[in-house]
Chain A
Amino acid sequence: MSEHLTIYPIIVHLLTAILLLLSWMNPKVQRYISIIGSIVGIIVGGLLFSQVWTEGIQSVQLGNWKAPFGITMVADTFAVTLIVLTNIVALAVSIISTRNMVSSRLKFGYYAIFHFLIMGLSGAFITGDLFSLYVWFEVIIISSFVLLTIGGRNIQIEGAVKYFTLNMLSSIIFLTGIAMVYGVTGSLNMAELSRIIPEIENQGLVHTISLIFFIGFGVKSGVFPLYFWLPASYHTPPAAVSALFAGLLTKVGIYAMIRVFTLIFPLGEINQMILMVVAGFTIFFGGIGALVQKDIQRIFSYLIICHIGFMVGGLSLFTEVAIVGAVMYMFHDIIVKATLFLIGGVMYRIFGSTRLYDMGGLMDNYPRLSFLFAIPMFALVGVPPLSGFWPKVSLFMASYTQGEMFLLIMFIFASLITLVIIAKIWNSTFSKKPVEREKRKAFKYFEKFSFAEKAAYIVPIIILVGVTLYYSFFAEHFQVISERIGKELMNTEHYYNAVFGIKEETKL
């Protein structure tokens, strides 16, 4: 295949979005175009993955401007794995959106914006330039603003104000960091920066700049104490949008964090300490926050924060084993969090409410669905052999061997508190007796759905649960991928060589 395959994941979604804009007033056609676009996205992602897997890191110089003068697109194993997972989540969300989104929302360009968002995510994953990372981040947030507000219910607008302000602020902080890096080094190419930064005499300044980046990405990924926008906004849009945000938007912040802190600013002792404390408190406050919530989508929102701590914690340990754990946890988390929000959407249709108090009796009325829903929930807790268990092995091992007891205790705390929360959800939705109350009149309940509508709600969950099960029972595959990612991230010369077109003697 050609070397330009690297940028195809972006182009696929760009073309899909353009086609969707052309069929602006025709929701029926839009649904098909979107699903086909997502499937093509998965295929292209898979092809790129196999190319990267066999031939090593791929790079493209846009406009044929040689690095470091032009913008470079780099596809390493980390980026392409994320692209494949992103496209899988995109497929699931575009299927559920066919019914979860009323056609008035589709007429306002929901699907087009959705594909622009996926395009932004793909771009952020494969860019090799710090400023173009900022540009992709802006593509992501402006699409997410529209997805968040489309429909315009009061609560959505209010959530959007909070989401907008904090994300705008984080972009400004990120751009400040970029300005300072440019001032200090005179370059924005990530591969070149990885060589320039260690040679700067004033390393104190470099540490300060790296913390500006940490705050910028920290807001996006929702770490303590910068997470307050997340639980205030993620439960407001329809379930399909929430699932997309939960699966992917916080993870792109974590991706940027891992990329920047391995490639450009390798963590020093002080920064490691700061990240570790932040990770611990993220886990603690996310867990406690989830414990007091009484609304299922809000509980899941806080659980996102709680589990972000695992990835930041893994990064803060800064050994290959820990990075492997963090990366593997990220893959698991993308799939499972998206599934949980979709499940929340189905529960809303079944009970007519997302409050735990209004739920109950799912086990008696829908035994097969309950079984399906149980799988991602137990995977989230990390019950072996389900997917949450495997990355925790690496994370626990790394924190134990390095003697970081604070982090180890927090990891264990997170697992336990997740178990408590899932048990609480189980009690009140699955096994509790249903609450007798009046049915809402102008509301379409799940039991009144036609077969096609039920399928649109359940098929995406089945797809994502299938991926979770694959991860669980063939965890070795993900372990091998993550180990290779760990090697690539910790030895930056592979990345550098790929960008500058230097032939490598030894392959990974």
Chain B
Amino acid sequence: MEILLAIMTGILYAAGIYLILRRSLVKLILGIVILGNGVNLLIFLMGGLVKGRPPLIPEDASALEGIFADPVPQALILTAIVISFGLQSFAIVLIKRAYKVLKTDDIDTMNKTDDIT
């Protein structure tokens, strides 16, 4: 399972970076979304995978015993997902606006702010 997740993370990173390097604005945002998902998967993977042992204390014990799943990565991922959701919704509005005022989808033609005037 770890190997599968590791390969999946790699694919998501590669796809995200490939899309960011394209010239289209929409693909840029898609690339960032995919990269964000790749990171979430990476956190999940790095926290260690434990099958079928939730971090719940049994009724007759006072502490967790043996190997149990780490709840922290899930809290981290949840936070990261919420944050990236907010940023992505901003990004989508931004590219819509950018397309409207700049009348182009091509990042290569967006060089007005870099001109030496």
In the complex, which residues of chain A have a beta carbon less than 8 angstroms from the beta carbon of B47? 182-183
Docked-complex contact A183 and B46, CB < 8 angstroms: yes
What 0/1 pattern do residues 85 to 100 of B give for CB contact below 8 A with A?
0110011001101100
A155 to B79, CA, bound (A): 33
Once A152-B97, A158-B98 are accepted as A-B contacts, the answer to whether A145 and B90 lie under 8 Å apart by CB is yes
Docked-complex contact B32 and A292, CB < 8 angstroms: no
Docked-complex contact B101 and A152, CB < 8 angstroms: yes
Which residue, A141, A172, A233, has most C-beta atoms of chain B within 10 A?
A: A172
Docked-complex contact B110 and A161, CB < 8 angstroms: yes
User: What secondary structure prevails in chain B residues at the interface with A?
Assistant: helix
- The verdict on B76 contacting chain A, using a C-beta distance below 8 Å, is yes
Question: B83: which of A135, A149, A162, A292 is its contact (CB, 8 Å)?
Answer: A135
Docked-complex contact B117 and A295, CB < 8 angstroms: yes
Once A131-B79, A138-B87, A158-B102 are accepted as A-B contacts, the answer to whether A182 and B114 lie under 8 Å apart by CB is no
Docked-complex contact B32 and A172, CB < 8 angstroms: yes
Docked-complex contact B94 and A158, CB < 8 angstroms: no
In the complex, which residues of chain A have a beta carbon less than 8 angstroms from the beta carbon of B72? 182, 188
In the complex, which residues of chain A have a beta carbon less than 8 angstroms from the beta carbon of B35? 169, 172
Docked-complex contact A165 and B20, CB < 8 angstroms: yes
Report the minimum CB–CB distance from A170 to chain B (whole Å).
11
In the complex, which residues of chain A have a beta carbon less than 8 angstroms from the beta carbon of B51? none
- The verdict on A494 contacting chain B, using a C-beta distance below 8 Å, is no
Docked-complex contact A164 and B113, CB < 8 angstroms: no
What 0/1 pattern do residues 131 to 155 of A give for CB contact below 8 A with B?
1001100100110011001001011
Once A131-B79, A161-B94, A168-B91 are accepted as A-B contacts, the answer to whether A154 and B43 lie under 8 Å apart by CB is no
Docked-complex contact A235 and B83, CB < 8 angstroms: no
Interface size on A, residues (CB 8 A): 42
- The verdict on A479 contacting chain B, using a C-beta distance below 8 Å, is no
User: What secondary structure prevails in chain A residues at the interface with B?
Assistant: helix
A128 to B35, CA, bound (A): 27
Docked-complex contact A182 and B43, CB < 8 angstroms: yes
Question: B25: which of A142, A161, A175 is its contact (CB, 8 Å)?
Answer: A161
Docked-complex contact B117 and A172, CB < 8 angstroms: no
Residue in chain A with minimal CB distance to B25: A161
- The verdict on A431 contacting chain B, using a C-beta distance below 8 Å, is no
Docked-complex contact B46 and A232, CB < 8 angstroms: no
Report the minimum CB–CB distance from A112 to chain B (whole Å).
16
Once A135-B83, A154-B102, A182-B73 are accepted as A-B contacts, the answer to whether A169 and B20 lie under 8 Å apart by CB is yes
- The verdict on B30 contacting chain A, using a C-beta distance below 8 Å, is no
Docked-complex contact A168 and B114, CB < 8 angstroms: no
Question: B46: which of A141, A161, A179 is its contact (CB, 8 Å)?
Answer: A179
Docked-complex contact B117 and A157, CB < 8 angstroms: no
- The verdict on B14 contacting chain A, using a C-beta distance below 8 Å, is no
Docked-complex contact B46 and A182, CB < 8 angstroms: yes
- The verdict on A294 contacting chain B, using a C-beta distance below 8 Å, is yes
Report the minimum CB–CB distance from B58 to chain A (whole Å).
21
Docked-complex contact B117 and A355, CB < 8 angstroms: yes
Docked-complex contact B36 and A231, CB < 8 angstroms: no
Once A157-B97, A161-B95, A176-B39 are accepted as A-B contacts, the answer to whether A168 and B32 lie under 8 Å apart by CB is yes
Docked-complex contact B114 and A232, CB < 8 angstroms: yes
- The verdict on B80 contacting chain A, using a C-beta distance below 8 Å, is yes
Report the minimum CB–CB distance from B30 to chain A (whole Å).
12
In the complex, which residues of chain B have a beta carbon less than 8 angstroms from the beta carbon of A152? 97, 101
Docked-complex contact A179 and B39, CB < 8 angstroms: yes
In the complex, which residues of chain A have a beta carbon less than 8 angstroms from the beta carbon of B80? 134, 175
What 0/1 pattern do residues 385 to 397 of A give for CB contact below 8 A with B?
0000000000000
A292 to B94, CA, bound (A): 31
Question: B102: which of A157, A182, A292 is its contact (CB, 8 Å)?
Answer: A157
In the complex, which residues of chain A have a beta carbon less than 8 angstroms from the beta carbon of B91? 164, 168
Residue in chain B with minimal CB distance to A141: B87
Docked-complex contact A172 and B39, CB < 8 angstroms: yes
Once A168-B91, A175-B80 are accepted as A-B contacts, the answer to whether A158 and B113 lie under 8 Å apart by CB is yes
> What are 24 residue pairs bridging A and B, where the CB atoms are less than 8 Å apart in the complex?
A131-B76, A138-B87, A149-B94, A152-B97, A155-B112, A157-B94, A160-B94, A161-B95, A161-B107, A164-B91, A165-B28, A168-B32, A169-B20, A169-B32, A172-B36, A175-B43, A179-B45, A180-B42, A180-B46, A182-B76, A232-B113, A236-B113, A292-B116, A355-B117
Query: Which 5 residue pairs are nearest across A and B when measured between Cβ atoms?
Result: A183-B46, A179-B43, A179-B42, A232-B113, A179-B46
- Could you list 14 further interchain pairs (A-B, Cβ under 8 angstroms) beyond the known A138-B83, A180-B42? A141-B87, A142-B86, A154-B112, A155-B113, A157-B94, A158-B113, A161-B107, A165-B32, A175-B39, A182-B46, A182-B47, A183-B46, A186-B70, A295-B116
